[in-house]
A and B are shown apart, each in its own frame.
Chain A
Amino acid sequence: DAKTTQPTSMDCAEGRAANLPCNHSTISGNEYVYWYRQIHSQGPQYIIHGLKNNETNEMASLIITEDRKSSTLILPHATLRDTAVYYCIVRWLMDSNYQLIWGAGTKLIIKP
């Protein structure tokens, strides 16, 4: 019962910026948006998270719309090693405790 909507797959040329969109129209005002990625069948890897403001770290940038109903993860200079499934996730209250609810993600393929 994912709370986010992402494209099933995307391609991007190596060296270009990869822009991965995510819709989270039911997100509540105090909920963060998280991004993880999973390379092949390895354990997922945390990328970034944000609430309202745009965020940037050494891996990526996160742009959140003003109404917070959607966001975009930006990998500024994609490399072949960025080929992975990218998950946009929001928290969901479960047993008085927040958990991350995962959807199917976007399969990003970086092409030479």
Chain B
Amino acid sequence: DSGVTQTPKHLITATGQRVTLRCSPRSGDLSVYWYQQSLDQGLQFLIQYYNGEERAKGNILERFSAQQFPDLHSELNLSSLELGDSALYFCASSVGGQVNTGELFFGEGSRLTVL
């Protein structure tokens, strides 16, 4: 158990819809990272928040947005969903704002299926 909690574990929705994925980081971790993993692919970095502020952006579509709340949990909002958005979405957390030690703690992921 990494200590990172993601909900929901599974989500099935239709094209054009909007969903929200939630992540609670490990206790004491200030950074939250969001990754997308399509079938049999590596992880694609989407965005990082540190202590409520956006720290870095990766390959995140304009239809996607995220935020980190004062209690440090984070939400990833996916809108105008397309079939290609079907993927595993992982949240990870770390203590600091930089990937210095390299040790990110990952949740178990949210599997999104768009029909």
Question: Does A pair with B?
Answer: yes
The binding surface of chain B is classed by DSSP as loop
Contacts of B55 in A (CB 8 A): 95, 97
Q: Tell whether, in the assembled complex, residue B109 and residue A104 are in contact, meaning their CB atoms are under 8 Å apart.
A: no
**Number of interface residues, chain B, beta carbon within 8 A:** 32
- Chain A interface category by residue count: 20 to 34
Nearest CB of B to A107, in Å: 9
Contact status of A98 and B98, CB under 8 A, knowing A41-B109, A42-B109, A43-B109 = yes
Contact status of A94 and B102, CB under 8 A, knowing A41-B109, A42-B108, A103-B42 = no
Query: What is the CA–CA distance of A42 and B43 in the complex, to the nearest angstrom?
Result: 12
The residue that B42 contacts in the complex, of A42, A95, A102, with Cβ under 8 A, is A102
Nearest CB of A to B112, in Å: 13
Binds B, one of A17-25, A44-52, A63-71, A75-83: A44-52
Q: Interface readout for B49-62 with A: 1 if CB under 8 Å, 0 if not?
A: 00000011110000
